[in-house]
Amino acid sequence: MKPLEITNAREHNLKNLTLTIPPQSLTVLTGVSGSGKSSLAFDTIYAESQRRYVESFSTYARQFLTRLERPAVDSIRGLSPAIAIEQKTTNRSPRSTVGTVTEIYDYLRLLYAAIGTPHCPVCQVPISVQSPEAIAVWAAAQPPGTKLMVLAPLARNRKGEFKKELASALKQGFPRARIDGVLRALDEEEIHLDKRKKHDIEVVIDRVIIRPGLQERLRDSIQAATRLAGGMVILALEGQADRLFSLHLACPVCGISLPDLEPRSFSFNSRFGACPTCDGLGFVTSIVPEDIVRDASQPLADADFAVDDGHIVNTLRAALYAVAHHCGVPLAVSFQQVPQRLREMFFYGTSEKITFTYGDYTYRARWRGAVTYLGERLTEARTPRLQAELGRLVAARVCSSCDGSRLRPEARAVTIQGQSLVALTRLPLVEAEAWSRALTLTGKEAQVGAGLLHEIQSRLHFLVEIGLGYLTLDRATSSLSGGEVQRVRLATQLGAPLRGVLYILDEPSIGLHPRDNLRLIRSLERLRNAGNTVLVVEHDEETIRHADWVIDLGPGAGSHGGEAVAAGPPDQIAAHPASLTGRYLTGQQTVVADRAPRPATRGHVTVHGATHHNLQDVTVRFPIGLLTVVTGVSGAGKSSLVLDVLHRALVQHQKHIPKAGAHRGITGQEAFDKVIEIDQSPIGRTPRSNPATYTGAFTPIRELYANLPESKARGYRAGRFSFNVRGGRCEACEGDGLKRIEMAFLPDVYVPCEICRGKRYNRETLQVKYQGRDIAETLGLTIEEAGEVFAAFPAITRVLRTLVEVGLGYLTLGQSATTLSGGEAQRLKLACELARRATGRTLYILDEPTTGLHFEDVRRLLDVLHSLVDQGNTVIVIEHHTDVMWAADWIIDLGPEGGQGGGRLVGEGIPSMIAQLPTPTGNALAAARQRVARRA
């Protein structure tokens, strides 16, 4: 590989950046937030690699793709094929799991199809080969007079025209076939099938009416069918579902027959393997019965339903009265005291007719159940209000047919040395790896499965090695954090034997406990040692020290950044006098100033007996009026405790909030007048959402433009300067400034609108200017610059000032929400809360707020958090950053391990107390303090 040479990169805030990245190296890009790291790594290097890849397509293929713009750079030499693993590439599909993303599940499907032992899903006994004689005996035992067809399945859910197959069947003397469920005469018409659609084709071998003495004929017909269809036969009985029989797999007890095992038999994305009830999702959405009655303590006569629609309420009340009368329950009894029989009948319907009364009108009818009735009303709802009203009653529940496993019973019953695929995917990865290591294959099994088992073992080992051993293969990727997603996808790349590739990673250490950092670094070094170049955007000190090459961008953020302050080995960066990163590495500057923890004098809010997810009946006290850090290794139960239990329980009165996780109760919550969770979810999912609109600063800015003399002369109002409504916006892109291009087999890309050139507005609107800037140019100002421009307007500067305080002064007012990282979105929300009037009784909950922050940014963030506490508020932070831990007043340490090995309280107290404990967190805190002492 050749060195990667970038000449005069000017993308975003990069200032003619020229630098060289050594080949086959672990290179770290660091610097304060907004210094240009992502602009260089993703918007310049990776964007050019993607553009060259598309340009390599044939002319025919390129006509279906929009031409990608070249990044603002003079030249990039030595560029290898690049793979980017970002934080924002989480697959939100409910079908995406850890197993499918890492391809481990694909190898397991192949392994189970090759060497698995099938069992009867009903009797749980191993199934055996079934003979034509046994099938004929079963058919002959059907009631006399039953019509029966013996069918040979030639194609099952396969694409094609099948002209040769149908012609061959006719030539062999079979004149009829059932095609896609319809009987067709092969000798009377020419059959044309759409080759692009999937078809089911079954040749009719025989048609009989069951009567004594037919067993010999049935046996001959079944043999003919199995010869034609490769050992399979379908018996179509009148009034019954078709029965598929196989000469290969059949239960000796109940006679059930299964098709041959194939990899797709274990795929929940195929109808051959997916549970038919939930279609392979593992859950079904339905009305939650318990939520239909708003207050179960009221008597039946005054039942209050969680719906406001008059017609629906009248129907539910009439049904409740009718069911109560049928069960002999007085209407004075409360709903929570009624017998279970009444509940079942009201929620799920009656099998017999009951008496309904509407005023003076009485009639008898079956009641189909409140769940079914409300589900039908939701489907038929035509108004958004009614849809939202009924939608609040809907929740996802584990599929009762497959118990959330997603697979058909036949697939769930296949085992390898006693372990089913479902049970294996539910094991923590560390246990799944141990099972794979202990699995011994001999003879034919070893010949078929040894290679598959090796791939499974290596990928499981890597996932465990980088600290993800607490995850399970069936864990949905939508529930993973940004750092977990990156590490999971990294495992996939390590499993692929690629050489000469440029890997670009965006802070893979996010969400990783300091104990596991070295494991991640070793994995990155494995990628490098395999002959690849690894470029990592990172702020973690340990990763920087282990890098081969470090590029420190800065010196500041936004317009103050975009320069290469220093480049070289870590020791050279540490010795560079102009490098801010170097000063933190040498200890010349520190994140945490020495200060005594605040005493807990205002009591506690306490969670009692939390058992949600892996929490093991823990009772935890959170001091009121302090900065508390909840920490522990990945998977220890931090989010389960703080977000799923504490936060949800305190805000359960709010709409659209899921129910709190399992716990016995909470005390001390009366100390707070409001609870605010500040997470890393996007502030918007379209380019229209930006810092100006989210913070509310855009409203006074639009009003300012509307009050200008030019606007008044033209009759423009504030709405003219909004890109969300017609009038002043560019209609070609509908105010987005960008157009989304679907790249089919590549990630979607956004390109500037060719009409407005990304300005969002039409020509007339842009003619109105304030201080020489039109509205588009104003949105292009950084928040720091805008604070100076609008210094005379307190309503605007108050919000902008808080954005600068949390380290976001480098963002532009109109920067698209789709380009913000999770950490930037979180700090943007934090700034909005800081701009509001403080009450001093607020509980703030933050989940890893140091994501994407340089040492200097962490110092500024801690200043903000301490100012919130100084105002009397309570701040609870989920965090792994040792500097944040040392800055805390109180630490709650969960663990000691992740998954089933965690969920326990292993330590609580001030930082110096936790540093003395023999826990992963205690060891990390002690090591961090020793590093500071050595530098001093």
Burial of 448 (0-12, 13-18, 19+ CB in 10 A): middle
Provide CB contacts within 8 A for 59, sequence distance 6+: none
φ, ψ at 503 (rounded to 5°): -95, 130
Give residue 219's Cα distance to chain centre: 53
Question: How confident is the model over 503-512, as pLDDT tens digits?
Answer: 999 888 887 8
Q: How confident is the model at residue 638 (pLDDT cuts 50, 70, 90)?
A: very high
Residue 179 near residue 199, CB atoms below 8 Å:
yes
Judge whether 505 and 539 are in contact, CB under 8 Å: no
DSSP 725: S
Confidence of residue 582 (pLDDT cuts 50, 70, 90): very high
Read off the pLDDT of each residue in 126-130 and give the average, rounded to a whole number. 72
Q: Is 280 helix (H, G, I), strand (E, B) or coil?
A: coil
Q: Given a cut of 60, is residue 91 above it in pLDDT?
A: no
Range in 169-178, 301-310, 716-725, 856-865 the model is least confident about:
301-310
Average of pLDDT values for 766-781? 92
pLDDT, residue 356, reads 87
Q: Residue 111: CB partners within 8 Å, gap ≥ 6?
A: 416, 449, 452, 453, 456
Phi, psi of 109 (to 5 degrees): -60, -45
CATH class of this structure's domain 119-260: alpha beta
* Residue 467, helix vs strand vs coil: coil
The DSSP bridge partners found for residue 618 are 610
Q: How many CA atoms lie within 13 A of 525 on its CB side?
A: 13
pLDDT band at 204 (very low <50, low <70, confident <90, very high): very high
- Judging by DSSP bridges, how do beta strands 243-246 and 198-209 pair with one another? unpaired
Closest CA to 371 of 344, 348, 340: 348
Is residue 653 a contact partner of residue 917, using CB atoms and an 8 Å limit? no
Tell me the pLDDT tens digit for each residue of 858-899.
Answer: 998 898 899 899 999 999 999 999 999 999 999 999 989 888
pLDDT one-digit tens code per residue, 653-691: 665 567 788 899 999 999 998 899 888 777 776 777 889
pLDDT at 657 (0 to 100): 67
CA 899 to chain centre: 19
| Structure token pair of residue 47 | 């964007």
Is residue 292 exposed (0-12), middle (13-18) or buried (19+ Cβ within 10 Å)? buried
pLDDT tens-digit profile of 331-361? 888 888 889 889 899 999 988 888 888 777 8
- Per-residue pLDDT of 710-761, as tens digits, reads 999 999 999 999 888 888 899 888 888 877 766 655 556 667 888 888 888 9
d(CA 722, CA 728): 7
Would the pLDDT of 294 be above 90? no
Contacts of 383 by beta carbon, 8 Å cutoff, 6+ apart = none
Whether residue 250 contacts residue 218, with contact meaning beta carbons closer than 8 Å, is answered with no
Superfamily of domain 285-398: ABC transporter ATPase domain-like (1.10.8.280)
CA distance 782 to 814: 9
Instruction: Tell me which of 203-207, 300-304, 621-625, 628-632 is least confident.
Output: 300-304
HEC secondary structure over 92-145: CCCCCEHHHHCCHHHHHHHHHHHHCECECCCCCCECECCCHHHHHHHHHCCCCC
Reported confidence tier of residue 610, pLDDT bands at 50, 70, 90: very high
pLDDT the model gives residue 757: 85
Q: What pLDDT is attached to residue 532? A: 94
Residue 924 token pair:
């990390």
DSSP string, 353-421: -EEEEETTEEEEE----HHHHHHHHHHH--SHHHHHHHHTTEEEEE-TTTTT--B-HHHHT-EETTEEH
Exposed (0-12), middle (13-18) or buried (19+): which is 326, by Cβ within 10 Å?
Answer: middle
Q: How far apart, in whole angstroms, are the C-alpha atoms of residue 358 and residue 511?
A: 59
Nearest to 445 by CA among 107, 109, 117: 117
Model confidence over 129-158: pLDDT tens digits? 678 898 899 899 899 999 999 999 988 888
| Parallel, antiparallel or unpaired: strands 243-246 and 232-237 | antiparallel
| pLDDT over 70 at 485, yes or no | yes
pLDDT computed for residue 562 by the predictor? 92
- Residue 924, pLDDT score: 92
Phi/psi for 777 (5° steps) reads -70, -35
Q: Higher confidence at residue 440 or residue 630?
A: 630
Please say if the pLDDT value at position 4 is more than 90.
Answer: yes
Residue 571 CA to residue 589 CA, distance in Å, equals 16
Residue 365: beta bridge partners? 354
854-871 per-residue burial string, b: 16 or more CB within 10 A, e: under 16: bbbbbbbbbebbbebbee
How large is the average pLDDT for residues 756-777? 90
Predicted confidence band at 798 (pLDDT cuts at 50, 70, 90)?
confident
Instruction: Tell me whether strands 604-610 and 618-623 are parallel, antiparallel or unpaired.
Output: antiparallel
DSSP state string for 762-780: -TTGGG--BTTB-HHHHHT
pLDDT at 480: 79
Percent over 90 (pLDDT), the chain: 40
Q: Any idea where the domains of the chain sit in the sequence? A: 4-90+482-586, 119-260, 285-398, 604-682+821-935, 691-793
Cα of 261 vs its chain's centroid, Å: 31
Sequence length of the chain is 936
| Residue percentage of the chain with pLDDT more than 70 | 95
Given this model, what pLDDT does residue 351 score? 85
pLDDT of res. 749: 66
In sequence order, the 6+-apart residues with CB closer than 8 A to the CB of 577 are none
* Of 902 and 290, the one with more pLDDT: 902
> Within 10 A of 239 (CB to CB), how many other CB atoms are there?
7
- For the chain, what is the mean pLDDT? 87
Give 693-721 as a DSSP string. Answer: HHHTTHHHHHHHHHTSHHHHHHT--GGGG
Cβ-contact 654, 798 below 8 angstroms? no
604-682+821-935: same fold as 4-90+482-586? Answer: yes
Q: Give me the pLDDT at residue 533, please.
A: 95
Residue-wise pLDDT tens digits, 310-320 = 888 888 988 99
Two tokens at 737?
A: 């400034």
Domain 4-90+482-586 maps to which CATH number in 1.10.510.10, 3.30.300.20, 2.60.120.260, 3.40.50.300?
3.40.50.300
Contact between residue 916 and residue 622 where contact means Cβ atoms under 8 Å apart: no
Q: Hey, what are 903's tokens?
A: 């969920």
Asked if 56 and 50 touch (Cβ cutoff 8 Å), the reply is no
Mean pLDDT of 249-269: 78
CA angle 619, 621, 624 (to 5 degrees): 160
* Residue 177 pLDDT: 92
Given CA atoms 382, 383, 387, 390 in this order, what sign does their dihedral have? negative
Give the pLDDT of residue 88.
59
pTM of the model: 0.76
The 10s digit of each residue's pLDDT in 41-59 is 999 999 999 888 888 878 7
Confidence at residue 393, expressed as pLDDT on a 0 to 100 scale: 80
Rounded Cα–Cα distance for residues 857 and 936 (Å): 22
Domain 604-682+821-935 listed as CATH 3.30.300.30: no
Specify burial of residue 754 (Cβ count, 10 A radius: 0-12, 13-18, 19+). exposed
CATH superfamily of 691-793: ABC transporter ATPase  like domain (1.20.1580.10)
Sheet strands side by side (includes 563-568): 82-85, 502-506, 533-537, 26-30, 549-554, 563-568
**Angle ∠(801,804,807) on CA atoms, nearest 5:** 155
Task: Pull the structure tokens for residue 45.
Answer: 């290097």
- At 223 the pLDDT is 93
Distance CA 316, CA 368 (A): 11
Place of tokens 């409140």: 370
Q: Does position 64 have pLDDT exceeding 70, yes or no?
A: no
Which of 59-63, 245-249, 599-603, 853-857 shows the lowest mean pLDDT across its residues?
Answer: 59-63
Instruction: Give the whole-angstrom CA distance, residue 532 versus residue 387.
Output: 53
- pLDDT value for 174: 92
- What local confidence, expressed as pLDDT, does residue 882 receive? 92
